[in-house]
Amino acid sequence: MKVKIINKSNNPMPEYATIGSSGMDIKAFLDKDITLKPLERKMIPTGLYISIPIGYEIQVRARSGMSIKHGITLVNAVGTIDSDYRGEIGVLAINLSNKEYTIKTGDKIAQMILAKYEIIEFEEVDNLDETDRNTGGFGHTGY
């Protein structure tokens, strides 16, 4: 699928790291390095602006390597960029480690995935169909 993008950074265009990758790496675009102290959170600019087709969203997700090696993940777990947003993509990073971590321009800081979604039309009813699980919630299967 072709998606329009403006890249105001000096980084190459986002790309898939391997043929089987579902997410494209996003890189930081900074005037100066950003150091995240333990439990500190900051918005990391990317210099990317995208025109997402209606019926799709971009999901911004943490990079597993940064999460396990350095404790850097996303404040909101998965960020959603709606199809009508035209501003710069920012990555909401948080440092969950006990050490400072410095992000430099060009560093891979997140990944983005284009995802299709459906528009919900609610139908108000008095009862829902029953299932084997029914109202069983958190931990209802043992763990």
Looking at the DSSP bridge assignments, the partners of residue 93 are 42, 74
Interval 10-64: pLDDT, tens: 999 999 999 999 999 999 999 999 999 999 999 999 999 999 999 999 999 999 9
CATH code at position 82: 2.70.40.10
Q: Is residue 67 part of a domain?
A: yes
Q: Is residue 110 part of a domain?
A: yes
The boundaries of the domain holding residue 63 are 4-9+21-116
On whether the CB atoms of residues 38 and 99 are closer than 8 A, the answer is: yes
pTM over 0.85: yes
Structure tokens at 97: 């480690």
Evaluate if residue 137 carries a pLDDT over 80: no
SS3 at position 66: helix
Q: Is residue 141 part of a domain?
A: no
The sign of the torsion formed by the CA atoms of 80, 111, 18, 10 equals positive
Q: Is residue 88 part of a domain?
A: yes
Q: Is residue 53 part of a domain?
A: yes
What distance in Å separates the CA atoms of residue 49 and residue 90, rounded to the nearest whole number?
10
Q: Is residue 27 part of a domain?
A: yes
